[in-house]
Amino acid sequence: MNVVKLALAVAGMLPLASYAALGGPPGVRPASQSVLRSAAALNTTAAVTPYTMRASYGADGVTVHEYVLPSNVVFAVTWQGPVRPDMNALLGSYFPNFTSAAAERARGVGPMIEHNGDFHIESAGRAGRFFGKAYLPRLVPVGVRVEQLQ
């Protein structure tokens, strides 16, 4: 019984840092590491867009923005920071698309841009400054320009 109590105490002290899985529900993290904004607050136009943006700030300096539909599905993620985020956790079931795109290009020769109909990713950077975005074109709300997602 004491071992169970000890395990629960240790688990309670560990950070809950997880990113959204693209195409799935948003990630879960403590309120101190997460900011939720509606798209209406992000837009300067009067039109309301049907999504919310969740910003997460990791201890490693990486900022991840999750763009979430009202149906609680992440249609896009963006990131920037001194290191790449955990791409497997960030992209979820689309991670194999990322790895196959990365394998097809020469390492270190500019940004990786891959678009295969259902999945789009742009990833670039160098040591100390990485950034990128990934989105699912079929889920992007009408009127939303992915170029404006940061």
Amino acid 107: pLDDT:
66
Amino acid 10: pLDDT:
33
Both tokens of 25, joined, read 């529900």
State the Cα–Cα distance between residues 118 and 38, nearest whole angstrom: 25
Q: pTM value?
A: 0.72
Domain ranges of the chain: 18-142
- The one-letter code for the residue type at 47 is A
Amino acid 111: pLDDT:
84
Selection from 7-11, 29-33, 47-51, 108-112 with the highest mean pLDDT: 108-112
Average pLDDT over residues 28-37: 46
Write out pLDDT tens, residues 12-30: 333 334 555 888 888 654 4
State the Cα–Cα distance between residues 70 and 40, nearest whole angstrom: 13
Write out pLDDT tens, residues 70-114: 999 999 999 999 998 999 989 999 998 888 877 776 666 678 888
pLDDT at 40 over 50: no
Average pLDDT over residues 25-54: 57
